[in-house]
Every structure is written in C-alpha cells, then in structure tokens.
Amino acid sequence: MASLVAALPVQAAETAPATRVDLRALEWSPCQDIAPVGDETLECATLTVPMARGDDAGSGRDATVDLALSRVPATGTAEHTLLVNPGGPGSAGRMWAAHTHRRMSEELREVYDVVSFDPRGVGASTPAAACDPDYFTPVRPDTVPAGAEEEAALLDRAEAHAQACADHGGPVLRHMRTEDTAHDMDAIRAALGEERIDYLGYSYGTYLGTVYSALYPERVRALVLDSVVDPDNPWYESNHVQSRALDRAAGTFFSWVARHEDAYGLGGTPEEVADAYYRLRERLGTEPAGGTVGPTELEGVVIVVAYSGRTWPTVASALSAQVNDDDPTALTGLHETYGDDADSDNGYAGYLAVQCTDSHWPKDWDTWRSDTEDVHEDAPFMAWHNTWYNAPCATWSAPADDWFGIGDGPDEHPAYTGDALVVHATGDGATPVEGAHSLHRRLPGSALVIEDGGRTHGVALTGNPCVDEAVSAYLLRGELPAAGPGADLVCEAGPEPRPREAQSDPAPGLQRVGPFGLDRASDSADMVE
C-alpha cells in the first residue's frame, strides 16, 4: 500500500491540466452578491481552471471554468486554511465559509482562514449548468405510478429532461465528475499558496474529500468527513440504500409525532401517524393544497424530517393543520421554503451531471422498475421519488465512467493513509451510518466519531460539545480519539425537539439540490435542508 500511495504523484502528473491554471495570487475583495451571516469579514475571488484535463480534454483543450470562491480570514494570525464543501452534488458552496466560521470556536477562528467555493457548473461559477427551469412547476405528476400508463408518462418526462440538459447544458455538463472537482480543489490549494490543505466535507463532500485525498495524498494536512457517502456503493446502488434509510428516518419522525398526539392530533401510534400521512398524500393527488402542493411536492417538504430533528415540530404542525383543519397555509409555506422551483434548475443540472457520469447506470428500465418496486414494498416513503429524481441518468447524453473506488482491488485507487476524522450520526436518514463504518475501514489512519441517537445530517460544529471538541482537537493539535471497538468515540446526541418549538437555527442543509448535501437550510433563519 505505501509504495502505491507513493506512486500517486505520478498519477496526478498524468492528469495534468490541458491548459495552464491561473496560479497568480487570488484577488480577494468584498463579496457583492452574498452577505456575511454575522460580523465576519467575507471576501470573494475567482479562479480560472481548465474545463477538461488530460485525455478528457479532446477538442475543448482551451475551454476554461471560472470558480467562484469565498473566504473568511482568521481573526488572528492565520496558520492554516480550511476548505469546506457542504455536499450535494449540485450545491452552491460559497456561503459555507461564513457559516463554518460562525460555528467554529474562537480558538479555531483565530488561526483558520475558511474558504469555500461553488463547484464547477454550479452557483456563481461559470459557465453554469442548466436544463429546464420549468421542470419543477407545480403540480407535478405523482411519483408513485398508478399503472403502466402513468409510469410511461413519468419515464417520458425523465427522458425529455435528460434531452433538455443535453440541449441547454453546454459542454461543462460533460466535465463535472467528482474527479474534475477534486482537481479543481487542488488548483484552489495551489492558488492559495498552501502546500497542504485542511478539508471539511459534509455528505457528498465526504466522497469528494475521499477522492481528493486519494489523488493528492501529499497535499492533505487534515481531513474531516462528516455524514458519509458509502464509498463502496456507486450512485445507483447508493440511492436505493438511501431510500431505505429515509424510510427508517420517517418512521422515527412518525413515532415522535405519535408521542405528542395532544399537540398534533395525527394519531397515538406510529402506524396511525403514518396512515394519516399517506391518506393525506393520496388526497393531495386530487386536491392539491393551496393549488400547488400535490403528492410530489408534499414529498419535497417532508423529506426534511430525515435530515434534522429540528424540522419535526414545524413539519408536524403543517401536516396537522392540513389534515385536521384543511388549512394549507403552513404546508404551502414549507413548500416555498424547501420545495424545488425554477431556481432549482442549476442545482439539479449540477446534481445530474455528477451522478450520471460518476458511475454507470442501468440502461434497461425493467431493472429500475424491479429494483424500485422491491424497495417500495418495504420502504415506500421516498422509493419512487428517489428513482424519478435520478431517472434522467438512464438516458444521459454524456458518457459515464467507472466509479472511483477506494481500496486494494485491481480497479480501485489506493486509499489515503494519513490521519482523518470520520463523523456520523446513527439516525442520519440521508446517508446511513453503515457508510461511516465502511469509510473508516477504508482509511487506515482514520478515527470514527459516532453521535449515538443523533438525527442530524451534518454533525460537526453544530453544537454537540463532545463532537465539536473532537473536531477541534484534531484540527488544532492533530489529536485523534484513541482507537476503540467499532467507533473510536461515541458522543450522546442532544434531546429530541419539543412539540411546536420555535426554530431559530434550523439544521444545516434542507433544500433539494441533491440528496447528499447540506444546502437545504444553509443554517440561517430561513428555517431549515
């Protein structure tokens, strides 16, 4: 393993940029289009990188991408730079420098510049990915097909969207694999003048960090990977695994609502609450709430309960008002907050461009149907929703490549062997905890911190003292928890929310720019991912 890792710089050289990266000092200036979240100094800059590299360049050797970056400087003398990615894929990331800085302890703020960026094709980075801004116009077709005719219509819709992406997405859609963004990260590191970088990745950002550390092991100083995408599961398999985890998380939410029947009146057992939810879902198929929230829009709202327990009181109140009082106000308001709309086109295009080309997808629709029906039978909460969200990959125009696997196998890449910290909550519904154990086994120098009973997708620097102290000790002093059986450190989760509790700081990341990201709530008072 050591000799293979030592050979990786040669591998990186073989994928050298087709055009020269602009490595002049970044010109930081006050941001014009994003604002600080507090009194921090927030600066922005742009870095030009090749659109295509190495053998992938082809006729587009001279095409470039302008990456939009942000930075919050250290409050004292900067000793390190922390590069942050919130996941996605398809999530704009620039605001995460400000969000991360705000959550840090003063000791961390004093010595860390925090940098984040909009990945290629996404947000303020240009050229921007695009497909069809009308795709999410309500009321959309029900994701659960009633029969063959409805299924065929949904499949036609997915194929048409894939074609719209091919027609309007531009050449960048062919160059948005995770490896492309990993190479961009190293260009950012070089432009910052850093020999080695510290990295904090949430959700899909854990896979991005895993790939980066495999490609550039000598460029990593610290690696924090939180809410892990299982590196053993390519995206098609990963989405079916996620659908089962989302269903388990919904069951936890239904149980909580049942314990507070006096507040919500949706049933006194988890089964009764689930029945109330699915009956509402069926009714919205013929009577959309407020004329805009049908079954599919409802799913886009309630999926947030699998990302954070902090959303439970708000979502439960909205369901209660609709079921018991026929009042759609709260539900339509949540759809406006969490649901997809025309502004989601760029994020969804970015999501598909990564997922559809990172690994191979079945081309035979019978395989999709059979696998989804198997999942739906046991886990109906989001099985079909997840399938249709990814269905454009079945006819995606850009070629897919092999999954960037990590390990000792003949088709795998040697794993990063340096120190790393893996963090995960046991009740995370977006990325099942098994993925954290998988990655921990793959990274021989890693320590695993588990938040037992945690219900949040994205744990580090969110207020659990046990977790945050472990993260700080690692970043500041390189100290990892002592090795233990299974997890190296187990931290108890905080108490579950109280009914109808006001949400002043909802969980990071609740908006559907990608199931593997934290961009849904961006952790401000917008309310919640």
Q: Which residues are catalytic, by number?
A: 203, 428, 457
- C-beta separation of 260 from 302 below 8 A: no
Give the C-alpha separation, 138 to 410, whole Å.
47
**Number of DSSP helices (H) and strands (E) in the chain, helices first:** 18, 12
Which neighbouring-strand residues pair with 44? 29, 70
Q: What backbone torsions phi and psi does residue 6 show, to the nearest 5 degrees?
A: -60, -25
Contacts of residue 516, defined as CB under 8 A and 6 or more positions apart, other chains included, come to 87, 88, 89, 203, 204, 207, 229, 242, 430, 431
Give the C-alpha separation, 456 to 473, whole Å.
22
Tell me the C-alpha to C-alpha distance, in Å, between residue 355 and each of 89, 181, 182, 359.
8, 13, 15, 7
Give the C-alpha separation, 208 to 225, whole Å.
10
Compute the C-alpha angle 349/97/217, nearest 5°.
Answer: 80
- C-beta separation of 46 from 68 below 8 A: yes
Q: Which two structure tokens, joined as six digits, stand for 464?
A: 């659990």
